Amino acid sequence: MEAQRPCLQELPTEVLVSIFSYLDVQDFKALEQASGRFHRIINDEELWKNMFLARMHTKYFPSCSRSSRYSIEYGERNLQLARWRHSRAITTKYEITHERRTNDISAPGIRQVVFDFPRCACYNEGLVTFLQLNAKRRKDRLVYIQCATPHSCSVMHFNINAVVFGRFDGKVFGKLLTNKSYLSPVIEFDSSHNSCVTAITTIAYEGSSHDWCVSGSEDGEIIWWCDAKLHSRMKISNQTILKLFINPRMTVAIDTERAYIITGMKEVHSLELANYVTATNGGGPKFIQVDFGGELLVLGSSSKLCVVSINRHRDIGFSRKFDSATEILQISIDENTARREAEGAAVAGGDGCYIAVRCADYSVMVFNIRSQTPEIKPQLKLSFHEPLFSCKVNHLILACAFSGMVGLYDAAIGTEVRVTRGTEEYPQFLDLADGHLVIGSGNTLHYHQYASLNQKKKKKPVSNVRGNRWNETVQSQLEVFHDTERLRNEQVERDAELRQRFLGDVDDEEIQLQIALVESETTYTSLPAAGVSYEEEFRRALEESRRAYEASQGVPSSTLAEYASSSFERSESGFERITWTAADQNSLHNLHSPNTGPSSTSGVVVSNMGTNGPDNSPSQIDSDLELAMLLSLHDR
């Protein structure tokens, strides 16, 4: 007997779960109907949760699918990682330098970069450069916006929508960066602080057409601005405001001693900073980040990390701390997740939020600050042998910038996704989005796009100069071909017409031309010679007419000869007018009918209207021809 073939349903559950994790969500519906066991495995959420626990060693993590089902989350996470890992990397280099500053070595470089795909904004001194990364034509990608910094500026902040400035005299200035305000100047707000502006920030809420700004002063006053107009003001402290954060629900202000949580621009809750971290050089904390979605405040010093709850309805002030054995150099937060409101248990993994901590020993740690554990511990720690200049994290990828390359790692388990080389030697700016990364230093930015190969096959590039030249060449060759075909068709039609006309023999055309030539020559030779005069022809005609008459009538030739001679002599003389008399008419009558009565032929008068000379010979000849016609009538 043949051995029984293995069946997919007989595989262990763990193997089936691993196989199903690489399928699309749409395939789950077909598998559910194929087998009862498949239906149970796909809908067993505890089984998929255990898969996450075995892989990540935790059940709290950021969501990639925003779904409550762990099976869908598992498949979506693998799909996004595969895009980062296997897609083709397209790198574009940009030199963010204005023409007037190209040769100025002392000109400062980029001070700040804001990356919100598909837009990237860079701020230089007095100049904002926009990169439209999704523009097809390269010349449309770079947009320069003049933004002169006000004199005596003490602080500034900008994002994709606006740039704001604060001055030492308490005045606030700003400029919108929308398409309709590129040419508008920096405007002054309608009010001011009573002291130096020490902190300022701006934000544009989603779904709102208004631009909001909040500024803090040296005397502890906060002012909220809406579209460059004063909206509300409040004095919350006697200390200098060092840092401000704002979202639609709350505002967070930090001074040298306390943190203030302001709700609705009215209610104020304060937290003593000394209870969490130590201040640096008499100032505030060294690192400050805010997770508005999870209502958490992240404070850091050189050796300590503290996550404090700012949820005034639940556990405001509750903190979790972590002590680092090495000096902390940078704290980076997943800004997109931090801005979005947390959904908690409604999504698989608890909708976590990652922060990346870079240390002096070339190591980086990843924390999930929204985890429900009583202590905060690093979910991942990576150590490197070469200097690490910057790091950035999102819900899926941890990016680490080294000298000349960027390493991408799985933020949950630390496996290497890919390494991109050819970047800046000393990178200063690093940011990433879903499938996109920006890194740069000085006036140079490198944009890396990790596009899918299938998508690139569908999208064909716009025809460039080479394509235009090729099209022009093809069009010219087609025109030559069409002209040749037209001439050939005309020749074929002409040959067919000749065959039909000359009984099917095209060579008969030459014979017909020869016949026509012979007839033309015969006609020409039959004409009188040029040397023979009209007078001789006339005499010959008269002589022939006389002889014919004598032969038929028997009339004496002397009578007719005398008349013809006298008539000819008179025609050659210089008389102006010749008139036939009645005797002449009777003579003609007798010539015509001697036995009958008077002739019906009336008298003929030949007139010469001018002097009879060489120029008038044609008129005289016409008169003589009339006479010859009369004589021929007598013959008949």
**90-102 burial: b if 16+ Cβ within 10 Å, else e:** eeeebebbeeebe
Mean pLDDT of the chain: 79
Secondary structure (3-state) at 177:
coil
Q: Does residue 107 carry a pLDDT above 60?
A: no
Domain final residue, candidates 62, 85, 108: 85
Domain-embedded: residue 284: no
Q: What is the DSSP string of 326-350?
A: S-EEEEEE-HHHHHSPP-GGGSGGG
* Tens-place pLDDT, residues 72-85: 888 888 888 988 98
Q: What CA–CA distance (Å, rounded) separates 266 from 272? A: 20
Who has greater pLDDT, 175 or 595?
A: 175
Q: What is the pLDDT of residues 470-517, one digit of tens each?
A: 777 777 778 888 888 888 888 888 888 877 776 555 555 666 777 777
Q: Looking at per-residue confidence, does 178 or 11 come out higher?
A: 11
* Residue 331 belongs to a domain: no
Q: What pLDDT shows up at residue 4?
A: 58
Host domain of residue 605 = 551-635
Q: Average pLDDT, stretch 233-262?
A: 93
Are residues 28 and 42 in contact, defined by beta-carbon separation less than 8 angstroms?
A: yes
Q: Where are the beta strands (DSSP E) in 403-435?
A: 405-410, 416-421, 429-433
Q: Residue 167: what pLDDT?
A: 94
Which of 154-168, 385-399, 589-603 has the lowest average pLDDT? 589-603
CA angle 60, 65, 70 (to 5 degrees): 55
Question: ω into residue 118 within 30 of 0, thus cis?
Answer: yes
Q: Which of 64, 85, 106 is the last residue of a domain?
A: 85
Q: Evaluate whether 448 touches 439 at the Cβ level (below 8 Å).
A: yes
Number of helices (H), then strands (E), belonging to the chain: the values are: 13, 34
Give the per-residue pLDDT at 331.
95
3-state class of 352 per DSSP?
coil
Please report whether residue 421 resides in a domain. no
Which has more pLDDT, 509 or 561?
509
> What per-residue confidence (pLDDT) applies to 583?
45
Residues 176-203 have a mean pLDDT of 85
pLDDT recorded at residue 144: 84
The answer to whether residue 86 scores a pLDDT higher than 90 is no
With 0-12 CB in 10 A as exposed, 13-18 as middle and 19+ as buried, what is 323? exposed
Query: What pLDDT sits at residue 457?
Result: 45
Is 335 or 465 the better-scoring residue by pLDDT? 335
pLDDT for res 585: 46
Nearest to 588 by CA among 604, 612, 574: 604
Measured over all CA atoms, what is the biggest interatomic distance in the chain, rounded to whole angstroms? 170
Least confident of 147-161, 313-327, 539-553, 606-620: 606-620
pLDDT over 90 at 184, yes or no: no
pLDDT-based confidence at residue 573 (cuts at 50, 70, 90): very low
The pLDDT of residue 536 is 80
- With 70 as the cut, is the pLDDT of residue 539 above it? yes
Q: Model confidence at 40, in pLDDT bands (50, 70, 90)?
A: confident
265 is a domain residue: no
Q: What total of structural domains would you count in the chain? A: 2
CATH code of the domain containing 80: 1.20.1280
Whether the pLDDT of residue 8 is over 80: the answer is no
Beta strand pairing call for 444-451 and 436-441: antiparallel
5 vs 205: CA distance, rounded Å: 61
Token pair recorded at residue 523: 């006609």
Q: What is the mean pLDDT of residues 138-162?
A: 84
Instruction: Give a yes or no: residue 52 inside a domain.
Output: yes
Q: Which two tokens stand for residue 358?
A: 């870079």
In a domain, 565, yes or no: yes
Measure CA 358 to chain center.
41
587: pLDDT strictly greater than 60: no
> What is the reported pLDDT for 561?
53
| 429: pLDDT strictly greater than 50 | yes
Q: Which helix (H) or strand (E) holds 380?
A: strand 380-383
Q: Is residue 572 part of a domain?
A: yes
SS3 for 498-528 is HHHHCCCCCCHHHHHHHHHHHHHHHHHHCCC
**Looking at the predicted structure, is the pLDDT value of residue 594 above 50?**
no
Which tens digits make up the pLDDT trace of 14-38? 788 777 777 766 777 788 888 888 8
Structure-model confidence comparison of residues 612 and 446, the more confident one: 446
**How high is the pLDDT of residue 183?**
73
| Number of Cα atoms under 13 Å in the Cβ half of residue 522 | 6
Sorting pLDDT into bands at 50, 70 and 90, what band is 332? very high
Looking at residue 58, what is its pLDDT? 85
For residues 600 and 588, the answer to whether their CB atoms sit within 8 Å is no
Rg (CA), the chain: 56
* Average pLDDT over every residue of 125-153: 81
Contact status, residue 97 vs residue 105, Cβ threshold 8 Å: no
Dist. CA 456–CA 454, nearest whole Å? 5
Residue 215 placed within a domain: no
Residue 145 has pLDDT above 50, yes or no: yes
> Taking the chain, what is the end-to-end CA distance rounded to the nearest angstrom?
136
Of 155-159, 344-348, 617-621, where does mean pLDDT reach its minimum? 617-621
Phi, psi of 220 (to 5 degrees): 85, 20
Domain boundary among 36, 61, 85: 85
Contact 289, 305 (CB under 8 A): no
Lowest mean per-residue pLDDT among 78-92, 225-239, 370-384, 390-404: 78-92
Model pLDDT, residue 313: 86
Query: Residue 583: in which H helix or E strand, if any?
Result: helix 582-592
